[in-house]
Structure formats: C-alpha cells, structure tokens
Amino acid sequence: MMYPFMTLDDDTEIVHSEFLSSGKVKVYVEKPDEKDCFHHMTCWLPGYDIEDVFGFDKDEIEKYMEIIRQTAHLIN
C-alpha cells in the first residue's frame, strides 16, 4: 500500500510505502506531463537508491532527491 506524503506546487506527488519486510521504504515521485502523461521515479530508503526514472532530467532528479533527503525522517 502507498500513502500520500506530499504534493508540490508543480503538482508533483510524492507517496511512500510502509516499511517492507526487507527493511526498506519505497518512495514514488510522479508529475503530470502533457506530452508523456506522467514523469516518475522510485527512491528506496534508507539507501536513497534511485530506479525506474522516466521523463525527469538530472536537475529534476536532484531537486526531488533533496526534498526526499530533507523529509525522510518524517517517512521513517
């Protein structure tokens, strides 16, 4: 199950899972896009491992990762 966490001014949604049996938490970032429907990426806590990136450029990835780093304590 995924839980709503944060909606940003640019309509980006950040949601997260509960703690999984592996000890990890899945953080999913999704932003609507007129051309591609949605851009998205997955970050796994606590290691901040990124995967499944679609549509975000390097600067956007870093922007969202900084938000996740600054707020991860609220998820954990």
Host domain of residue 57? 2-75
* pLDDT at residue number 76: 62
Give pLDDT, residue 70. Answer: 97
Residue 76 DSSP label: -
Q: What's the whole-number mean pLDDT along residues 33-54?
A: 96
What is the number of domains present in the chain? 1
Q: What is the pTM of this model?
A: 0.93
Of all residues in the chain, what percent carry a pLDDT higher than 70?
99
Report CA-CA distances (Å) from 11 to 19, 29, 48, 49, 57.
Answer: 26, 11, 22, 23, 17
